Amino acid sequence: MQGGNYFFKNLIKEILLKRKTNIENLILKNYEPEFFSVIDVSEQHRGHQNFKEDVESHFEIIIVSEKFKNLNRIERHRMVNQNLREEFLSDLHSVIIKTYTIEEYKKT
């Protein structure tokens, strides 16, 4: 039965390693970004309680979009977290979110 277990582990690994792409697609679909960045920082959390080998679990995300206009930081983060809901249900553990309108980003 070793072969079946190996297949299952690799299938799970393949699904989980697509998380960065899934997040990028969610951003493109929901925010029409002027700019965005999704960085996997999972390896920086090696040794922490929720660290899992070969799982994209921690990210830093920057989104520059006019969809954030007239929203405060909490509203923006809630919006992004809502879009990431399915990812949080499958081993996404932590996300650092930075959101800007185009004007705000020009000032950074």
Assess contact for 51 and 45: CB atoms under 8 A.
yes
pLDDT band at 35 (very low <50, low <70, confident <90, very high): very high
CATH hierarchy code of domain 2-106? 3.30.300.90
**Strand ordering across the sheet containing 58-64:** 35-40, 58-64, 94-100
Phi, psi dihedrals of residue 40, rounded to the nearest 5°: -80, 115
pLDDT band at 36 (very low <50, low <70, confident <90, very high): very high
Q: Please tell me the pTM assigned to this model.
A: 0.78
> What is the enclosing helix (H) or strand (E) of 61?
strand 58-64
pLDDT band at 57 (very low <50, low <70, confident <90, very high): confident
For residue range 72-105, list pLDDT tens digits in order.
999 999 999 999 999 988 878 789 999 999 999 9
For residue range 16-32, list pLDDT tens digits in order.
558 899 999 999 999 99
